Structure 1
Amino acid sequence: MEISQYSAEQIATLQAKLEKKLGPEYISTRPGPGGGPKLTYAEGWKIINLANEVFGFNGWSSSITNLTIDFIDVHGENPPRYNVGVHCITRITLRDGAYHEDIGYGTAENVKQKAAAIDKCKKEAVTDALKRTLRSFGNLLGNCLYDKTYTEQVKNIKLPPVRSSTLLLDVL
């Protein structure tokens, strides 16, 4: 019985890639809730790019298995303001059928338009769920960010400044 379409060598290569940790160029920080300690995270587009590099652009897929609006609170008058919360469950499936699922959450507070608040929450919840699901595959896709010792060390690594010439795209 064949367990995987991948050969033992391909699995070992993939595992070796996924065991590596994110470099400082992939890691961002932002203030914690209520002015608490800074939170360390990776932006969604960077993790998606890494997944494409590791698995190939056609080696993985994502699907939303659940997207639920948890609450819509209206407050104020002329105009009313909206607070919204949404959760999302996402599944990431590899070419060989292996998969992981996880949940993400999105919130919007004090938004003037109901539709805009819901839209923001859905996008945030999907991105959060996607990142949380991809981290299940290994350190390279974000799991290393849960290692506090590592995040403290990597925050101290100084990146060289980006020169404008490195930002040019090779279109042709």
Structure 2
Amino acid sequence: MDGKVTYEGAVYSSGPGVEVGDIVFVEDWDGRPASEWSVQRIGVLQSKIERYTYQIYHSNRYGKHNLSKLIPRHVLVGFANEVFGFDGWKTDIEFVETKDGFPGSTSSISIADKISADSGGGAGALADRYTVIAEASVKVTLKDGTNTRMTGFSRATTPSKIESFNKAKKEAVNDALKKALLSFEKIILEHELKTKNDFYVDGLYGSKAQKI
């Protein structure tokens, strides 16, 4: 096999009341570059991240699996502003969820929380501490439409319910944002591989606009 994807010879069928000829087939553009601009800019972002990585490790042999824990949020945001421009990218918080720390107990929320006393101790000081486990999803979109989304996690335990909620929510969102910015590298690597194998059947870029 040469690894190339083709729809020649594919057989399509439809259910009652639906004509195959009326169906418009559209590829999923999420997670792939929308223009040459994003390919070039993401490459610049990655070079900045790798230089920062070198300062930490003195080598690039360690990979990127734990960079979201090592690179501060303000550093990655600064890189993004330099590379994409202050108005060249945006973030959307898609959801925030919390767990109360007990197995099988989960609550989905918009801007609310579910907080429980820490279950790891007995009476006394531990009874006055509150734990929030937060999960957040953040979508990062560049000005040409290129986008990626990632999930972040956090756990906060403090003497205050409000403080625990605010801390957990903020850290989960920050974790998701950092992972999303770091995940642009994977988008470019996959795009290069798919381009090499003639994967795209309706054009190289999702937006059709190759110049921004």
Sort the TM-score into its range (normalised by shorter chain). 0.5 to 0.7
**How far is the alpha carbon of 1:12 from its aligned partner?**
5.1
Give 2:130's match in structure 1, choosing from 70, 82, 105: 82
Q: Where do residues 103-118 of structure 1 align in structure 2 (5 Å cutoff)?
A: 103-109=151-157, 111-118=158-165
Query: What does residue 73 of structure 1 align with?
Result: 116
The answer for unaligned runs of 5 or more in structure 2 is 1-28, 58-67, 101-114, 187-212
Q: Could you say which residue in structure 2 is the equivalent of 1:101?
A: 149
> Which of 56, 74, 78 is the equivalent residue of 1:45?
74
Contact in 2 for aligned 1:26/1:43 (Cα 8 Å): no
Q: Which amino acid aligns with 2:167?
A: K
Q: Report how far residue 112 of structure 1 moved.
A: 0.7
Equivalent residue runs for 1:132-171 within 5 Å: 132-138=179-185
- 1:11–1:98 Cα change, 3 Å: closer
Q: Percent identical across equivalent pairs?
A: 29
- Distance change >3 Å, CA 27–CA 49, structure 1 → 2: farther
Aligned counterparts, 1:56-71, within 5 A: 56-71=85-100
How many angstroms does 1:40 deviate by? 6.0
Unaligned runs of 5+ in 1: 29-38, 140-172
The CA RMSD over aligned residues, in Å, is: 2.8
The CA deviation at 1:41 is: 0.9
Give the AA of the match of 1:113: S
Counterpart of 2:43 (choices 16, 23, 27) is 16
When the two structures are aligned, how many residues end up with a matched partner? 124
Which is strand-richer, 1 or 2? 1
Deviation at 1:69, TM superposition (A): 1.5
Contact 2:45 2:80 in 1 (8 A): no
Question: Residue type matched to 1:41 in 2?
Answer: L
Deviation of 1:73 (Å): 2.7
Q: Which has the higher contact order (CA 8 A, sep 6+)?
A: 2
Deviations 1:112-158 (A, max 9, x none): 1100000000010010000001111128xxxxxxxxxxxxxxxxxxx
- Assess if the C-alpha contact under 8 Å between 1:27 and 1:42 holds in 2: no
Higher Cα Rg, which structure: 2
Distance 1:89 1:124 in 2: 12
